[in-house]
Amino acid sequence: MTTALYLPEENIDMIAATSVLQQQAADIRTRTINWASYMQSQMISEEDYKAISALDKSRASFLAQNSSQVVKTLLNLVSHLSKDSTIQYILVLLDDLLQEDRSRVDLFHETAGKLKQCIWGPFLNLLNRQDGFIVNMSSRILAKFACWGHETMPKSDLNFYLQFLKDQLATNNNEYIQSVARCLQMMLRVDEYRFAFVGVDGISTLIRILSTRVNFQVQYQLIFCLWVLTFNPLLAAKMNKFSVIPILADILSDCAKEKVTRIILAVFRNLIEKPEDSSVAKDHCIAMVQCKVLKQLSILEQRRFDDEDITSDVEYLSEKLQNSVQDLSSFDEYATEVRSGRLEWSPVHKSAKFWRENAQRLNEKNYELLRILVHLLETSNDGIILSVACFDIGEYVRHYLRGKHVLEQLGGKQIVMQHLGHKDPNVRYEALLAVQKLMVQ
């Protein structure tokens, strides 16, 4: 049995009508297929010819009286015919049958089981076709079979399908991206499918796409996917390892669309409410403060929203973040800033008292924070981040006796020295100061 999260459909299905897939489906519905010629050339059996012709004429009544035959015929046709225009027509017909009545998904599963036919195989095969409509309509049907019935998709097929969706999302200029995202929105409502999606590195893909400029509709759909993932407490706890908070905070500060604002606030709320470990919720609060979410919330408090969810989430988040600021030690604040990868000259860096008391704490969790600073020096192109990282490393070795030895073990000394020739004079200056501190006996 699939344990789907119950969520209102309205906020998804308004989109469907405007997607490229739906526009094409509307044209395909008007086609007339000459089934007689398929039978005459022995490409389909007489039994299948009668069933599909009757289905074309009076769908609901024929299906009600001949459900097994309809399922058998549709699976036969999808598996054995090859002409694009005919396959397109059958897929639209099948998708319409499921859309009209979700209970038909179980009918398909049960009938296929009795016929010893695999319901997944024919549609998974169609994902390899060249025609974009066939690929994406097959994908949509697979998502319905996987989410709307009592049977879940088998594990090997599931991994293949989720990898397919992930790759389609990452394809440049994919005109069907709304349909791909729509399938993911359906799949990730089912708890069993969420971990499989994380297993194919799905969250990183969502974040990577969200960090580029995508239109607000796709933005909404992908953040919706993050939102449904956060209903699982384990995933909510892991989420910010993928920099979800910094990316969504950036979108929140730029966003003009109310529904995008609403879904981001809902993600943030889940990141505080759902983790079972209160220290994780606290870390998430601090990360939000670090990413200037409080400032955005105070701007949102001045605006009027028709949607009560927004008002309630703004109040909830403001209270939680204000409380976390009051409880914040300077080391918590520093650690969150380093973990976010967004170093800036916040007051804590220049505080001699801070370094005297906390330099040794950079050794905690197997030198976690020190390793991040070294990694930022290796990978960042931002002058401020590089300057601050050099400064912090210098202060660490100045205040912690074995700091030079530890830094050499981590390969950090060489990396600091490479920045002596950096094109930004501020980076060169901070690297020079850090090297001097490294050289002092």
Question: What mean pLDDT is predicted for residues 39-45?
Answer: 89
| 390 has pLDDT over 90 | yes
* Side-chain half-sphere CA neighbours of 340 within 13 A: 26
Helix (H) or strand (E) holding 316: helix 308-327
* Side-chain half-sphere CA neighbours of 280 within 13 A: 18
Q: What is the pLDDT of residue 152?
A: 94
Neighbour count for residue 423 (Cβ, 10 Å)? 7
Q: Going along 100-255, which residue ranges are E strands? A: none
pTM for the structure as a whole:
0.77
Q: What is the DSSP letter of 4?
A: B
- Residue carrying structure tokens 């380093």: 338
In whole angstroms, give the CA distance from residue 368 to residue 61: 66
Q: Mention the CATH class of domain 11-181.
A: mainly alpha
Q: What would the two tokens of residue 425 be?
A: 């004079």
In whole angstroms, give the CA distance from residue 79 to residue 215: 36
Question: What mean pLDDT is predicted for residues 192-197?
Answer: 94
345-440 fold:
1.25.40
Coil/strand/helix, residue 179: helix
Burial class of residue 118 (count of CB atoms within 10 Å of its CB; 0-12, 13-18, 19+) = middle
| 196 has pLDDT over 70 | yes
DSSP-derived secondary structure for 337-389: HHHHT-----GGGG-HHHHHHHGGGGGHHHHHHHHHHHHHHHH---HHHHHHH
Residues 299-353 pLDDT 10s: 998 888 878 889 899 999 999 998 887 766 788 889 988 988 889 888 789 888 8
- Whether 11-181 and 201-327 share one fold: the answer is yes
Q: What is the pLDDT of residue 115?
A: 85
Q: What is the pLDDT of residue 317?
A: 95
Domain range annotation of the chain:
11-181, 201-327, 345-440
Residues 397-434 pLDDT 10s: 999 999 999 999 999 999 999 999 999 999 999 999 99
In whole angstroms, give the CA distance from residue 329 to residue 355: 13
In whole angstroms, give the CA distance from residue 121 to residue 76: 12
Q: Could you tell me how far CA 79 lies from the centroid of its own chain?
A: 32
- Residue carrying structure tokens 């079972």: 276
Name 234's Cβ contacts closer than 8 Å, sequence gap at least 6: none
Coil/strand/helix, residue 291: coil
- What sign results for the dihedral spanned by CA atoms 39, 44, 49, 52? negative
Backbone angles phi, psi at 190, to 5 degrees: -95, 120
Task: State whether CATH 1.25.10.10 applies to domain 201-327.
Answer: yes
